[in-house]
Structure 1
Amino acid sequence: MSLRLKTIIGIAAIEAVLLLLLVSMTLDYLRTTNYEGIVKRASTTATLFATTAKDAVLSYDLASLDAFVNEVLKNPDLVYARVLGPDQQLFAEAGMPEALSADFAADQEVESVDDGIFDTYALVAEGGVVYGRVELGLDINLLRQTIAEAEQRSALIAAMEMGLVALFSFILGTYLTRQLQGLRKGAQQISAGELDINIPVKGKDEIADVARAFNVMASDLEEASRRRDQYEAELEELNRSLEDRVKQRTHQLVEKNKELLQANDEIKKTQAKLVQSEKMASVGVLAAGVAHEINNPLGFVMSNLCTLEEYVKNYRELLGAYETLFSLKDSQERKAQYAKIKSLVEEYDLAFMNDDLDDLLKDTHEGSVRVKEIVKGLKAFSHVDSTEEMQLTDLNECIETTLKVANNEIKYHCEIITDLGDIPQINCIPGQIKQVLLNMLLNAAHAIKEQGRIEIASVFREEAVEISIRDNGCGIVKDELGRLFEPFFTTKEVGKGTGLGLSISYGIIVDDHHGDIRVESELGMGSCFTIVLPINKSEVVQEAG
């Protein structure tokens, strides 16, 4: 499967899942909200109608009841209304003949309505005695039509969104594969001995940087090959020369060999830069671990939602039992219904559910905030410095951002303790500082085999900001301390490290920021790396002002 196809399928799959979740949740919320509104409206209207008609029912004032019925039908979507007496005798009714002629059956939920009319009633009672009831029918066809239109529009929007995502994925995949094909073709030409190549460079992204570095490497190889051919020709000429010129030619050969060695050293340096660039790019792999960090809060959020769903179901059953109780007139039936309700309250532990609701909602909110903070930290850490220039930066913020990104790598076996002091902002390249902190944190975590502790502190001391990262891991042999910052030197097992992390960090702190890195370590007790970044007095005065 090609990279372009993988890109299209991957992005389309993620977008499809997110769209499905969003559309389903939105439509479900729309249906639930509107259906609950219909039920509440029907119940409220019936109750008000029963209250209005109570005096007329008690006095058998049929003319007033006819007027009340006609008046209540002025409410939008009401299709019929009737008033019944104590023995179900009809006092007054009005509305659609079809609805009035149908047998009345009260509806509990809008989803169960099959005739397009939500039927409900309310009792007319005085002093605990039922003297009749009112019955209403509410038309829900328009509501269902509106929801159906919303579903169709959501499906259309989702289809358009998927089309745009597929188009974007295709364009992105085509761009990436086209650039990589150029690099592959260039590598094949070099392996075939064709050193006079120049890969076209487009854009200013990482692939363009690799293409430029590739062209520099090819140019250096071509120059080295040209010099080698030249030296070989000169050697052949020397072999054909006279003996009296051997000493002179030998001296020239020694000088030329020095130049050749220098050219080879330049090639090695260029290759080392490529390795460093690849090493820096691999730091982004840590972002994959954030998925696990997000899954944890999402897990208990979803669990809480399931519990809330169960509670809602229990509440609805209790409400249904109470509604049944209100509709009963026989004292024995009402007594039995009272016992049933009491049994349901004890079975569902109503008091516990009421107390647990606040905790469930609080935990769900905290989980959502946690996901938001994780994504915010990853976004801040992955920000690329567009100018690579010094800028005023809060180092404490750099530490917190790096901890969020590296958290999934170290949290399971390391306790993180921070002591961030009140330090001034300094001029630095924040992206490079975050990379150094990440290297130090990962090295400290790898030095701890099982369970351990990492302490991070920042302090302003003697016109410099110091950041210390201390662990209680395995420590470093004293003889190896002097070689820690050498390129390709590592104390890890074979295959576990490249030996470039500390070398890169040393170059960033010492060469680019004119600072220093101090190391203290004792075998079996742990290590402490201290980063020292100088600060100008003018910067401190400016910040204080």
Structure 2
Amino acid sequence: MSLRLKTILGIAAIEALLLVLLVTMTLNYLRSTNYETLTKRASTTATLFATTTKNAVLSYDLASLDAFVKDVLVNPDLVYARVIGPDNQLFAEADVKDYLNVSFTPDIRVEDVTDGVFDTFANISEGGVVYGRVEIGLDIRSINTAIKEAENRSIIIVIIEMGLVALFSFLLGGYLTGQLKVLSTAAKSISIGNLDIKIPIKGRDEIADVASAFNVMAFNLKDASAHRDQFEVELRELNRSLEDRVKRRTKQLEIKNIELEKANSDIKKTQTKLLQAEKMASLGVLAAGVAHEINNPIGFVMSNLHSLGEYGQNYRRLISEYSLLLTLTDCEAKKIQQDKIHHLSSQYDLQFMNEDMEILLQESIEGTERIRDIVQGLKDYAYTSPHTDYAMDDVNDCIQTTLATVSSELPEQIKIQTDLAMLPPLFCCKEKISESLLNLIMNARQAIEGEGVIAIQSRQKGEWLEISVSDNGKGMPIEQLGKIFDPFFTTRPVGEGIGLGLTMAYGIIREHGGEISVESELNKGSCFTLRLPVNDASGIALV
């Protein structure tokens, strides 16, 4: 589409929009004003007519009512009038052209009239009592005719105006495109490499300014092209000298890179050893509580086994006596043997032994399972796997697993409180998350002296899963909060840790793309909060 056509269409569209808006607003105003005036006139006429006929209606003066009805039809555009008395009795009526044959339906708005007559009424009342009403009809065809004529004239004006706008746009577009064609031709010439060009400047308008700026641009391009050629020659020469420098520098960087890789490998090995040492230090703290925790089930398992051994001896003696009974043939000897068996059964209390054996066996099984869980938990914690598997897991399961591992180490005066919300699965390494939580719980346990509470809470807040581990222990001063995640920083006595527990927790959460923060107040407690992003099996955040 050419610029000339675009100019004509653009100006025509704007002018058409303005004309349509102006004509529409004018016609709407004309229509609403006339209709409003007609509505007010109809209401006023009906009210005045009701007032005039009120006394005649009250006195049943039908002759006067006939005169009033005929007199009111003298008003212009009034086509019928009717007076209705009590109980819808017709007192008087008159019309111009058989309008009384149509049933009366009052009109609310002039726009809704379909028969060309605006029907309205007014009640005849006295002292709040309605004694009848008057009905009148006004012819609105003259108003509609005037509005239609205005619409036709507006359309003619719009057509004439659009024709003039099209002519003006055509002349203006021809002038503008004629000047722009010269610029277009010159631009194409420059695009193929011809920089020796100059456009003639005519007039003093904006087009002339553009032509002048174009000539300056062509001159600058020609000058820049000459400088570019010179720079290319110099650059080729410089590149030749730089190639040797780059080769030498690359060799040096390769040597340095090998040295850095070796140093990084040594640092990673040292870090692995330090992390394992921190684990073993924490494991040593756990060992004392674990030994006591294992001794409890072992104690009652051994006691149960002794009792079961005694019950076994009793059953073996009874079986032996029953076997002897089966070999006897003498009735007297059988009677003596049966009495003996009965005495032993009463002495051993077989019913109690049978019930107690089931309880002892169940307790022993539970005790050995408890020992197995404690040992497995310690094994999982102490073992550092070189490969960590990521999968979709429930963070709440990590919390429960960690609590099962650490519960044996916590003294009775320290209570665990949990408030776990429903959480979506998280793509994570379950073992590492559990390890991070274990370090935080052990840190909270060390902070509590005597009785205390460790509270663990999980929540989802928008695109994050939050796990908080709080305690009501001794807390930390403000100056220590900025150092607690630093390697080897610890407030414990020598021999109880090397200060890598919180560093490990911090590193694990950062590996999962999360955050860890702490709030603490001296002598009131601390709260560590882990924030992990909600993600899918590819590790991409879901929100």
TM above 0.5: no
**Under TM normalisation by the shorter chain, which class is it?**
0.3 to 0.5
TM-score normalised by length of structure 1: 0.44
Q: Which has the larger radius of gyration?
A: 2
